[in-house]
Chain A
């Protein structure tokens, strides 16, 4: 069965404390791995697409990486405004499967 699992479910960090969010996937025929950020009461905001193992993408304090089994979203020296829920999603030929998300809270 195709599955996407994110961990941890929730994460509290001090401002400046770097960490990584995990997205592990078990799917047949991955076409792309997407990362989104979602703020409360808003729609998911697209961050990155990763297509093949070894690929990396960066944007400000965020870096996404991909292996054959999982993806990581590394956050370096986070600020309170980085607090949000981060969703990963695996795109297959006929569907997209979302993980349940990681709720990230950055304390000032």
Chain B
């Protein structure tokens, strides 16, 4: 079991749907991350929140909209996605402001776009 919990585990949606991915951690971490991972590829960073503020946006299309309601929660709002957005979406957390501390990952949401 991981200490970062992601829901749902699987999601199938059409290109016109709106859905949200959720992530929760209770390790007291103040940095949280969204990654996208395609099959047989490493995780690809999308967004970083530090102390609930967006600090990094890796040029992600606007159809992905992150939100950090509080220090334990991270959401990723999805709208008008494309088939190439089908992937495993991973959330991670770490201590903020310390680049030498590892990130801890959830088990991801497997997203399929029809």
Contact with B along A41-83 (1 / 0, CB 8 A): 1111110010100000000000000000000000000000000
The CA of A94 and the CA of B99, in the complex, are separated in Å by 7
Give the dominant DSSP class at A's interface: loop
Chain B residues, CB < 8 A from A34: 102-103
| Chain B interfacial residues counted at CB < 8 A | 22
| Chain A interfacial residues counted at CB < 8 A | 24
CB atoms of A32 and B106 under 8 A apart: no
CB atoms of B42 and A91 under 8 A apart: no
Contacts known (A42-B107, A43-B107); A101 close to B99, Cβ less than 8 A: no
Give the dominant DSSP class at B's interface: loop
The CA of A38 and the CA of B89, in the complex, are separated in Å by 14
Contact with A along B91-114 (1 / 0, CB 8 A): 010000001111111111010000
The CA of A95 and the CA of B41, in the complex, are separated in Å by 18
CB atoms of A98 and B43 under 8 A apart: yes
Chain B residues, CB < 8 A from A43: 2, 4, 6, 90, 92, 105-108
The CA of A2 and the CA of B92, in the complex, are separated in Å by 22
Contacts known (A44-B43, A96-B45, A100-B42); A32 close to B108, Cβ less than 8 A: no
Which of A32, A45, A98, A100 makes the CB contact (< 8 A) with B100?
A: A32
Contacts known (A31-B100, A32-B100); A42 close to B45, Cβ less than 8 A: no
Residue positions of A touching B, CB distance < 8 A: 31-32, 34, 36, 41-46, 49, 51, 87, 91-96, 98-101, 103
